[in-house]
Amino acid sequence: MSVIALFFYLFATVTVASAFMVIASRNPVHSVLFLILAFFNASGLFMLMGAEFLALILIVVYVGAVAVLFLFVVMMLDVDFAELREGFLQYLPIGGIIGAVLAIELILVLGSYTIDPGDAQTAVQPIPDLAETSNIKAIGDLLYTRYIFFFQLSGLVLLVAMIGAIVLTLSHRDDVKRQNISDQVNRNSKDAVTLRGVKSGEGI
């Protein structure tokens, strides 16, 4: 067995095991940590395939942003997980039916799916001078030329999702003082400052 095959089986085994522990762990903090472990091992598989850009994106974006942000949210919210588990048996039949349907669909798809051996040799977008072109440059050429519209559209969708999340979680409280920029700019000096003649030894 070669060294590459040994690392492939090592990364694949740890990825599958950590992915199973993500859904099997009772503590959501442990699930997030197992998810981070799965991301790291999946990036190792990408490295073995020669896709270093996808491997680094998986670590930087998913581990550095999504998983860590989710971990901080879980830790800061202080959710009562015992209370959340009280309604588990109530929704168990519906969840079991949905899980069975999804399992049947996956079995049907995997059972009827075949891989054409010629697909690996067929390039959708031929890249000239592949030996002298890096993986990152090849992906950048495709993203910013052929797929520029979809790339910009995905960025717009993420922007709308971010704005929607901010709007949904924004709460206005009446007992909290906030600045109103338009009122501050439009204030008159006569209304803002009041001069009073106070005699010596007397208060206002």
pLDDT of residue 15: 92
The model's pLDDT over 33-57, given as tens digits with 9 standing for 90+, comes to 888 889 899 999 988 887 888 888 8
* Average pLDDT for 119-141: 64
The model's pLDDT over 56-90, given as tens digits with 9 standing for 90+, comes to 888 888 887 777 777 777 666 666 666 666 666 77
- CATH level 2 (architecture), domain 1-79: Up-down Bundle (1.20)
Interaxial angle between packed helices 68-77 and 28-49, expressed in degrees from 0 to 180 and rounded to the nearest 10: 180
Closest CA to 64 of 28, 39, 31: 39
Q: Is the predicted pLDDT of residue 26 greater than 70, yes or no?
A: yes
The model's pLDDT over 163-193, given as tens digits with 9 standing for 90+, comes to 887 887 776 677 777 777 887 788 777 777 7
